[in-house]
Structure 1
Amino acid sequence: MKLTIFAATGGIGRQVFEQAVAAGHDVTAVARNPQSLAGRARVVAADLTAADPAVLASAVQGSDAVLSGLGPRRPRTEAGITSRGTRAIVAAMRATGVRRLVVVSAAPIGTVPSPARPTPPRHDPGDGFFMRHLGSRFAGAMFRAHYADLALTEDIVRESGLDWTISRPPRLTDRPLTGVYRVARGRNIRGGVTVSRANVAHHMLAVLDQPEAVHQVFGIAD
């Protein structure tokens, strides 16, 4: 499969890249500084906060699917990066006729207001007592601007007209790939506090072979 991976040197993006290359996919890696990936795949240098549309179009042209691990390295100070970058990715896909898109969001986003969802549910149906009453409030206070940007990002994806899938992991870890994790459609995982970046990447690649995953949001946790 021919894949374009955005933010391919980031935490999740690098895991998607490594697993995609190992599986024998034809990979184009897009990142601000992708030189470390050169020689293993086609690389495209692009800053998604101010990307050249022609560069992004060339990066996705002819791909079977686009996977984005885009997110701020410092969520509390770099809010806005994910929505701006995702908007640019969607525009490039529309311009080139590429339809399949898989992106990463975060577990709390189902309860975060956005322009398209100004009154979301108060609780995610998969959240247990702690997350409903304490965890979500603490996380919201810590990462309010970042979560608002991810909620906007989900709006952009949902309204794109593309064949999208959204992954909503909880706290990310650097534990190794196991391929063993829990997934729930349309809700978070009860008691799911953490998940490894490697397992998130594994699931992002897995849904490419699952037509039923199109236009779905998935909670995932170890």
Structure 2
Amino acid sequence: MNLLVFGATGGTGRQLVEQALTQGHTVTAFARTPAKLALQHANLRVVPGDVLDAAAVQTALAGQEAVLSALGAPAGHKTPVRSEGTRHILHAMQQAGVRRFVCLTTLGMGDSREALPFSYKYLIVPLFLRSAFADSELQEAYIQQSLVEWTIARPATLTNGPRTGNYQHGFPATQQGLKIKISRADVADFMLRQLHDSTYLRRAASLSY
């Protein structure tokens, strides 16, 4: 499958690229700073560009069959990279006739808020992640209002652990016993699985151990 990956130089984005290549996909990695990816493969094409540049996003969509997004930004970053970038992606997908979209956001969005620990809900998010969460909320709104075949992945705190394939997904916010963490490798594993699975079609899935 021809896959376009946004946010390819981040921790989860790189996992998406590497695992997709291992699975035999042809990958286009869209990156503002391509040198950060530092990866070479016969089935990998790295396209330089800024997701806030609608024309660049539109050009990258040519010939693609599905899009995966792991867009992110530093906690204090004020530019709405997630929401505006996603808005450009969705518009370009509609213009190019590309239907499948799998997007990374975060646990705590929408009906998953109650899954967050007390410290996150009342201290960390309000004090340090307010802008990032507001951007992600708008990002999800754009996705849910779109006509594409979307799936949203809402992972708990991300770690650099290995891919285990052994994680919980789609659990209710009230579920007990969660570790509230998951490796970037396992998040990428889940996202790639959605390319051939309709369980979470037009739905958001929480992810954690």
Q: TM-score, normalised by structure 1?
A: 0.85
1:104 aligns with 2:104: yes
Aligned twin of 2:143: 157
Going from structure 1 to structure 2, the CA distance change for 1:150 and 1:25 (only over 3 Å counts) comes to same
Gaps of 5+ in 1: 112-120
**Residues 188, 20 of structure 1: CA spacing in aligned structure 2 closer, same or farther, 3 A cutoff?**
farther
* Partner AA of 2:201 in structure 1: V
Question: Counterparts of 2:133 and 2:139 in 1: how far apart (Å)?
Answer: 9
Which residues of 2 match residues 124-135 of structure 1 at below 5 A? 124=114, 127=115, 131=117, 133-135=118-120
Q: What is the CA distance between 1:76 and its match in structure 2?
A: 2.1
Residue of structure 1 equivalent to 2:70: 69
Q: Give, in whole Å, the separation in 1 of the partners of 2:174 and 2:102.
A: 17
Q: Which runs of 5+ in 2 are unaligned?
A: none
Superposed counterparts of 1:1-222, under 5 Å = 1-35=1-35, 36-40=38-42, 41-49=44-52, 51-53=53-55, 55-72=56-73, 74-110=74-110, 124=114, 127=115, 131=117, 133-141=118-126, 142-184=128-170, 187=173, 190=176, 191-222=178-209
SS of corresponding position for 1:180: coil
TM-score when normalising by structure 2? 0.90
Any idea what SS the aligned residue of 2:199 has?
helix
Whole-angstrom CA distance in 1 between matches of 2:132 and 2:191:
21
Q: What is the number of equivalent residue pairs in this alignment?
A: 204
Q: Per-residue deviation at 1:134?
A: 3.7
Q: Give the fraction of aligned pairs with identical amino acids, expressed as a percent.
A: 35
The offset of 1:79, in angstroms, is 4.9
CA distance 1:188–1:218, change in 2 (3 Å) = farther
With over 3 angstroms needed to count, the CA separation of the structure-2 counterparts of 1:19 and 1:182, relative to structure 1, is: same
State the alpha-carbon separation in 1 of the partners of residues 143 and 174 from structure 2. 19
Correspondence for 1:116? none
Secondary structure of the corresponding residue to residue 212 of structure 1: coil
Deviation (angstroms), 1:185: 5.3
Residue pair 1:182, 1:189 contacting (<8 A) in 2 also: no
Q: Which digits, 9 at most, give the CA deviation of each residue in 1:153-202, with x for residues without a partner?
A: 00011111110000111111001111111111564764231110000000
- CA deviation digits over 1:4-56, x for unaligned, max 9? 1111111110000000001110111111122423544112111113x142x32
Runs of 4+ aligned residues of structure 1 deviating over 4 Å after TM superposition are 185-189
**Alpha-carbon RMSD:** 2.0
